[in-house]
Every structure is written in structure tokens, then in C-alpha cells.
Amino acid sequence: MSGKLIDGRKVAELLRAEVREDVEAWVAAGNRPPFLQVVQVGADPGSTTYIGAKTRACRDVGIDSATERLPDTISARELRNAVLRHNENDQVDGILVQLPLPGHLSSHAVIESIDYRKDVDGFHPMNVGRLSLDQPTFRSCTPAGIFELFKHYSIPVKSRHAVVVGASNIVGSPMATMLSRENTSGKATTTICHKFTKDLTQHTISADILVVAAGQPNLIRGEMVKEGVVVIDVGINRIADDTEDRGYRLVGDCHFESVREKASWITPVPGGVGPMTVAMLMKNTLLAAKGSIYPKPE
């Protein structure tokens, strides 16, 4: 078997077209365009690239955005005050603090300082808690985007064995939560693996659906999965490559060729999960503007 490719670029474009139409209707009804406030601390080139992709996507769908750039020497208190100002600004619908933060700042503290009604990344404890309780919430963008891929390709999740490799607060944990909830979302039997898992293959080999978000190139190889598995490779890793102008290429966490041999479906890197994450951010920002999750005060 050679797995069919899951085209995240295409599905993300369809989703963005839907958001664009909804934004147009929202504005035509007399509302101002949704507004996303991005906060960048320091000048990490990776963060700058991600923010560029997000603000371009905003422009593309008719969402207004601004990026506040703060020095990497900023104190925790100053950063908190910056976030609180955006919380209080009625013109701001969504707030995104780009991670990672410089080492002296706690991402937990910063995320908790964001008004949960503007937390379009879905990282605030209120939104994480509501996800765990199967309540309407801002769902973390990467797992939510993966669910959109399942929907688009009619990939069944219910009652299957889903294995998530990686347990971060941003990807692995909310992914496992969404897969395992038995009311609104996944309804799958779910296993979570992380760096302390002994004998990873023992778990991955029985997966019907395998989501890998470990940040380790070639972690998953063909012999670690079964025939027909659906593979979602979230990893984005830079590998030195002299044949590329920029000196590197992007690879996922799977050894693509050998895993594809066994898979029924597989996401490529790049062009799989990444574009979906950005598209879901647009969707969450629109939901925030409309007060769809948390109604806005009259």
C-alpha cells in the first residue's frame, strides 16, 4: 500500500474561503472587521516567520491584525500589563502571544493573563478545562485543524484506536483530549505516549490513527506502524541540506517513505497540518468577534 496524501494546503484554503465569506457577511451586517492582536517578545526568526504567516492569513480573509513587538528584556510585570491593555480594548477580539517566550518569562503566567474570551489559541486554563468537559470552547488550533482534515477526507475516528505521540500543552495533550472525549468530538480509544514511554513501538503498532507531535525527525519508521494506519505528522524539523538555497529543508517526525508504504492516509511535511493551524486561528478569531463561544456584553 502507498498511503494517499492528505492535502492540508487545499483544505486550509477551503476553510479560509468559508471564513472570508463569513467575515464579509459579518461586516456587511454593519459590524467592524474582526481584530487579532499578536504580541511578539524578542525577535526569534522562527516566531517572526509564524507571525508573518498568521498576519498574511488575516489579510487574506478580511481580519484586521496588529503585532506589538516587545524587547526580550521585558519583565513579567510589563508583559502582563501589555496583555491587560489588549484585554481591556473593546476593539480587540483575539489575542495571541507568540510562543516560545524568552527563558525568564513563564508562558503559563502570560497565557493566564489573557482574557479567556479573547484566547483564540485555546491555551488558557478556562478553554483547556472546557475542552476536557466537552463544552464549547476555543479549541487549540493544531488539533482542531487535524479534526477538520478527518472531516474533509471522511476519515472515521469513532471507536478506533488513536495513538498520540507527544503530550505538550499545545498539541499532544489537547489532541488526545479531543480524540478521547465521548460526547462532542473524537470518541476514539486513545493512548498518549511521551518521552517516558517505554517501548514506543508496542503502542504505535496497534494504532488505527497515529498523531505524531514530538519534534524528533524519523522517530516513527515503517516497521513501527500497521498496514492501513492513518498518519498525521505534526512535527516540523529543520534538517541541514546544502541543495536548498536556505541551507535546510523541513521534515516531520515520521520517516515519510517507509511510513507511507504502510499507511492508508498520511500528511506530508510541509503542506499537511501546518496550514490548517493557521486556518483554525482565523476561524477562532471570527468566533471571538461574533461572541459565538462567550457572548459579548450588550
Known catalytic residues are 54, 98, 121
Work out the number of other CB atoms within 10 angstroms of the CB of residue 297.
Answer: 7
What is the distance between the alpha carbons of residues 41 and 97, in angstroms, rounded to a whole number? 8
Q: Residue 142 Cβ, how far from ligand NAD at the closest point, in Å?
A: 4
Q: What DSSP string runs through 130-160?
A: HHHTT------HHHHHHHHHHHHTT---TTS
Please report how close the Cβ of residue 196 comes to ligand NAD at its closest, in angstroms. 7
Residue nearer to ligand NAD on the CB measure, 62 or 274: 274
Helix/strand/coil for 9 = helix
DSSP 3-state of 100: coil
Residue 46 makes CB contacts below 8 A (sequence gap 6+) with none
**Residue (120 or 273) nearer to ligand NAD, CB:** 273
Decide: is 237 part of the binding site for ligand NAD (CB under 6 A): yes
Residues of span 187-216 touching ligand NAD by CB under 6 A = 193-195, 197, 200, 213-216
Give the strands of the sheet with 265-266, arranged side by side. 4-5, 265-266, 230-233, 209-212, 161-165, 189-193
Q: Which is nearer to ligand NAD, 36 or 193 (CB)?
A: 193
Nearest residue (CB) to ligand NAD, 238 versus 296: 238
- Site track 152-171 with ligand NAD (rule: CB under 6 A), x = hit: -------------xxxx-xx
| Stretch 116-155 residues interacting with ligand NAD (CB under 6 A) | 142
Buried b (16+ CB within 10 A) or exposed e, 61-97: bbbbbebeeeeeebeeeebbebbeebbeeeebbbbbb
- Applying CB under 6 A, among 236, 251, 280, 282 the residue interacting with ligand NAD is 236
Contact predicate 253/237, CB 8 Å:
yes
- Residue 285 amino acid letter: T
Within 36-95, which residues bind ligand NAD (CB under 6 A)?
Answer: none
The answer to whether 253 and 216 are in contact (CB under 8 A) is yes
**Does 274 engage in binding with ligand NAD (CB under 6 A)?**
yes
Q: C-beta of 167: minimal distance to ligand NAD in Å?
A: 4
Nearer to ligand NAD, 82 or 128 (CB): 128
Residue with the shortest CB distance to ligand NAD: 168
* Smallest gap from residue 66 Cβ to ligand NAD (A): 22
Question: Whose Cβ is closer to ligand NAD: residue 94's or residue 145's?
Answer: 145
CA dihedral sign, ordered 85, 81, 293, 7:
positive
175, three cell numbers: 489532541
Q: Does 273 bind ligand NAD (CB under 6 A)?
A: yes
Residues contributing to the site for ligand NAD (CB under 6 A): 142, 165-168, 170-172, 193-195, 197, 200, 213-216, 219, 234-237, 273-274, 277
